Structure 1
Amino acid sequence: MAVDRLLPTEEAADLIALTRDLADRELATRVASHEKEERYPDGLFALLGQAGLLGLPYPEEFGGGGQPYEVYLQVLEELASRWAAVAVATSVHTLACHPLTAYGTPEQRERWLPRMLAGELVGGYSLSEPQAGSDAAALNCKAEPVDGGYRITGTKAWITHGGKADFYALFARTAPGPHGVSCFLAPGRVEGLTFGPPEEKMGLNAVPTTAAYWDGALLERDRLIGAEGQGLPIAFSALDSGRLGIAACATGLAQAALDHAVAYANERTTFGRRIVDHQGLGFLLADMAAAVDSSRATYLDAARRRDLGRPFSRQASVAKLVATDAAMKVTTDAVQVLGGYGYTRDFPVERYMREAKIMQIFEGTNQIQRLVISRQFATR
């Protein structure tokens, strides 16, 4: 069912309507076959870019949509309710555009940003390494200064859109210690860069997740974003917003699971009654709806704080924690509502359940979110 959204402007309402129409036409009709066959949706991200959906929260002066974050996140939720992998990749692209937008020079922005925000160049975010996921300060991938630029050597891991993206926000070490990580806008194809095979995942299979192997690839000096050693502050400044993106994706996924469960409960009969009319089942659906609505309210609260220029780090962690835990519970309950049918691949709820699990893990595990939240209670 269509979510009754409280949007700040008529323009935002029109944008949501456009997104729903496009998602119903281009995402909902393709998701089942592409996910089953682990087939990449060629041309789809270019289509999203042409519709203006890949640069929504960025300023119009850079070619973005100039939309508040609360509107962008609701667009992301609409995409996720049809195809979670595409919504997650869209969120990652938005995350990958942040370093250049916030820390790039005017010349760098003019050179690359318009094509990135128009979706002509689709991005990936390359922070994690095999031994450095939650602990970003433990990065080992090296960026050695050489004549004309930097030589990159090392392995990166868990890259959404790995091998498919046109650029990567790459974080590599230019010096020892926590202040020795730098940020680069790396091209998606360069001599000395190769990718591993796609990870064999539980879900989100239509968009690959891979490792990247940098074997002395040379990046031009103007690929450095910000100053040397500024990489971790750049990465962390983007992650709060990225966590909101995942919260919105998780909410959309949970909404889809709820919608399927409600539709099934209204059609299936037992003991001469629709199963929705049995109080035990009706109460379960009520709890699922409360969890989805709470998730949406939580991420919108954080987004509105961001839009007002107020601190929102704790609220972003809360939103990511609440929404992804809720998605795991709601999708599991949707399988329960459908009974044996829910356990088969004839219905999408088993896929929703598999897709929900990763959302508790990436953009900082939910244990890390609890750590971020709890640290703000410590007195100085």
Structure 2
Amino acid sequence: MGSLKSHISAETVGKVITCKAAVAYAAEQPLVVEEIRVDPPQRMEVRIRVLFTSICHTDLSAWQGQNEAQRMYPRILGHEASGLVESVGEGVRELEIGDHVVPIFNGECGECDYCRSEKTNLCEKYRVNPFRGTMVHDGKCRFSTKDGKPIYHFLNTSTFSEYTVLDSACLVKIDQNAPLRTMTLLSCGVSTGLGAAWNTADVQSGESVAVFGLGAVGLAVVEGARTRGASRIIGVDINPEKRIKGEAIGITDFINPKDLDVPVHQKIKDMTGGGVDYSFECAGNLEVLREAFSSTHDGWGLTVILGIHPTPRLLPLHPMELFDGRRIVGSVFGDFKGKSQLPQFAHQCVKGEVKLEEFITHEMPFWKINEALQLLIDGKSLRCLLHL
């Protein structure tokens, strides 16, 4: 723990910090690793020293500018990370300098009607909002270029920076003994996928599952279904290389749609005697969503949407299809209430109940972030862990 605390200093508290960050200046242009300025945290905000961060497909889609409304430049992307509290703003009580923390893009204030409800993990004020590029408190940025121009925030977190400022509602304190290296994965991908199996679908022992898209989120669904004792876990992906990683984590069957002469849903129905109990759409593709929905069993099948769908196209379903007993639902952050439930989930990971190492396929220094981005584009990595 002493070596980690050496990453923070009391001398920076209350002052503007100059540090390195990867800044996006335009869609699909290489991120620029340069010096920026990070302001001190304001009321109910926290500034942290980021030690590890990784790239998610949501970062990739934002970098590609898939949604015009999200094109705010310059901007610091990133939302999967872990680090240490460097300083806290006025009113913050639950976090102190030196605490080990994990950022969460879907915040939890703990006080609003949403946070008090057991029916949702959304927060009235700090829920995920890809269209907001400033802090909630005053609508301003805490980042700026060396010549004073503001740099926009991303998903309440902006972790592609040595230091970042977040609302305290978007930070989870975790056990000091939990390895920050792997805890990084709980910020998004693993929590989202595994939580979808545990919380959203509530998969039970002996039930069957089909996972469409075997990226990090899809494989986290596989891990969640495996730990729950699912009898059959079918992985679907057009990348044949995903079969090896899928089998290592827990799929029992692999389907490559390119190898079939029938629709995927028909193949799954033939394999399972009518369809799976649950399907998970992790690709962000409406045609895939249609196949996922059709692959579930008549009468009780449930489809959980986890993929990001940036286009304005609508659901490929006829309303009457829902009268056959099949259901469809979206899941944000795996229906985990971040600040309330993530510490316990982290404890389960530390005990070895969940395989985290399987998701880290590459590691490299932060300044190689564009190489890490390309690995994700090429489908060669699940999570590339960047060391700051």
Q: Give the TM bin, normalised by the shorter chain.
A: under 0.3
Richer in helix (by share): 1
Richer in strand (by share): 2
